[in-house]
Chains A and B, each alone.
Chain A
Amino acid sequence: MSDATIQAEAKNRSLWGDVWVQFKSHKGAMVGTFVFVFILLAVAIGPYLWNLDPTFANIRERNQGMSWAHPFGTDQLGRDTLAQLLQGGRVSIAVGVTAMLISLIVGTAIGVLAGFFKRIDGLLMRTTDLFLALPLLPLLLVIIMLFRDTLRKAFGPETGIFILIVFIIGITSWMQTARIVRGDVLALKEREFVLAARSIGTPSLRLILRHILPNVLSPIMVSATLGIANAIITESALSFLGLGFPSDFPTWGRLLYDGAQYIDNYPSRVVWPGLAITLTVISVNFIGDGLRDALDPRIRGR
């Protein structure tokens, strides 16, 4: 190899380039990425390509099996399952991503503040412990049952329940992120580059934004992927218990819940939404696995 190529290679290597190279070598993560991107594309542009109305009831064609007109069959009111799946996927993934963002913002903020400012550390970490000690699933169910009607009146049936579910999942799943971020911040705070930044008079806010946050990015990204999976599962569990979205507003969990009543005669109605949830969650988990390896410099060097 000549000197020129070595130099060219050295120039081309950046942090994210290295991460990408390591990420590519994780087979599960690559397959997961393809599946997840496929699902994202399907729910994003699918409803335009498959333009049957998911809520259109055609009672003459109810409970049909697989056919060219309805590739995944129809339900007990003759609504097309494929259209419902695509529409439901939009809601499920939107819930997953939004709830993840909320939990990530809350978790990172609390983690950074607790790690950086010693005075509020005790208070914030006791709060985190308290949240960890709350029985979350029962409380989620209770809160949704109690506040559903108020929010429905205020924002309309769909938006109201969307805000409620996203908000509730978000504020009950930030604790792990906060703990991990706090641990990392505590270690970073003692490092020389932070001391250097402080010695030239960097104010705390800029110190956090410019020096601390970029260095805790990798645990945050990993918990982001796991957060999406977690939020999608929680939303479907709520819908499955009948406390999620209304039935004319399909989500994957809701479709599963509706299909469960016809499980004896039309088992396929359970299989499709279940497979959609499972594939999404598994692919997101594999992406998280690959990201964890790719972002860890100790593994990346190998």
Chain B
Amino acid sequence: MLNYTIRRLIFAIPTLLFISFIIFIILDMAPNDPTGNLPLTIPPEVRQKIRESLGLDAPMYIRYLLWCNQFFINEPLNMLHQWFGWCIGDCEGRLRVESWITRSPVVDSIVERMPQTLWVVGMSYVVSILVAVPIGVISAYKQYSWFDQAGTLVSMIGFAVPTFFTGLVLQIVFSTMIPSDHWAWLPSKYNTLHEVTDWQSFVYQMRQMAMPVTVLALYNMAQLSRFMRASMLDNLSQDYVRTARAKGLRERTVVLVHVLRNSLIPVVTVIALGVPTIFGGAIITEQIFGVNGLGALLIIGIQGADIPLVQTLTFIFAVLIVLFNLIADILYGLLDPRIRYE
């Protein structure tokens, strides 16, 4: 198992390097000019100077290697310096990946916006798991009951209705149709500057998180509860369940201990695989509710043609995908004794 993990980790490095190169090529191929958004009064010589100062006159492979050096070597060293005070090499004059628009380090603005995204996305994922597992268990245990039928319909709808439409419908219902002094009213925009200091502000924080979390959770819940149901159905008809019942275990023990534990194995890997997807889905949800997170940062970067920012963020999304694929595989091996990796 350890061998397998180490081999996969080593194999992930060239994969990620290759992905970063592909992202770099795509961004580089584009007929795009970072000085295009500057005022027209700037003379062409000055524009040329600006372009040179951004390092755009160098050939592509040099710029790519420079980015690699900045992102893979300088940024981690800088983190060590900032977090632990360890100084390796030149701490102050180190070149970092800088945004073309704000001329500040990209990683700093990512770290700044990370908590908002993690709060909303993480909460929604936790909520969807907590709701989806019981729904899946009940609808499998009572297959073809009205609960199961309703669950099938709801998950079909949750899966098919795009998040931007559920988000807007919730806004219509909870922010527009319900008057703002009613207890059920929810703010339509997320206030990032809001700080939790006492009970009142905590309640407000919960209220403003309610809608974005629900929208994201609904979509994941639909998928997860289906998986849970299918996995439970597979296990309920197995022989060991009959054995457990035959030796006189209580029904609750049979279902909640024996069957549930075995059915959770594939579901756990699906949960791990879904994490990067919801970061992608959060781009749209953040846009609807004005959450100032990573998705919003990406949109700003894209609209402003801020190549270093977009390159770094997209690469971080790719890292998430590769990482959670690896985690899912390892979890599967750890949880299911039938699976042995060589």
Contact = CB atoms under 8 A, between A and B. Distances in A.
Interface string B163-179: 01100110110011100
B117 to A, nearest CB: 13
A222 interface: no
B292 to A, nearest CB: 16
Contacts of A278: 157, 160-162, 165
B176 A264 contact: yes
Interface string B4-45: 000000000001001100110011011110000000000000
Contacts of B287: 240-241
A263 B320 CA distance: 35
B160 A281 contact: yes
Given A138-B283, A150-B31, A240-B284, A263 B171 contact: yes
Interface of A is mostly: helix
B223 interface: no
A142 B24 CA distance: 11
B310 interface: yes
Given A146-B27, A281-B160, A133 B19 contact: yes
Given A135-B280, A146-B27, A237 B162 contact: yes
Contacts of B30: 146-147
A134 B18 CA distance: 11
Interface in B139-181: 156-157, 159-162, 164-165, 168-169, 171-172, 175-177
A183 B35 CA distance: 49
A297 to B, nearest CB: 20
A138 B172 contact: no
A271 interface: yes
Chain B interface, DSSP helix/strand/loop, else mixed = helix
B176 A139 contact: no
Contacts of A263: 168, 171-172, 176
Contact of A141 (B160, B164, B168, B302): B302
A149, A274, A286 — which one has the most chain B CB atoms within 10 A of its CB?
A274
Contacts of A236: 162, 164
Contacts of B313: 138
A278 B169 CA distance: 12
Given A142-B26, A241-B299, A137 B165 contact: no
B269 interface: no
Nearest to B152: A28
B160 A285 contact: yes
B22 A134 contact: yes
B262 interface: no
Nearest to B303: A145
B162 A281 contact: yes
B162 A135 contact: no
14 contacts: A133-B318, A133-B325, A134-B23, A135-B276, A137-B281, A138-B314, A141-B298, A241-B299, A267-B172, A267-B176, A278-B161, A278-B165, A282-B157, A286-B156
6 cross-chain pairs, A with B, having the tightest CB-CB distances, nearest first: A146-B30, A135-B317, A274-B165, A267-B172, A282-B160, A281-B160
Given A137-B283, A142-B314, A241-B284, 20 more contacts: A133-B325, A135-B320, A137-B281, A138-B313, A138-B314, A139-B314, A141-B283, A141-B299, A142-B26, A147-B31, A229-B160, A237-B162, A241-B287, A256-B164, A267-B176, A270-B168, A278-B157, A278-B161, A278-B165, A282-B161
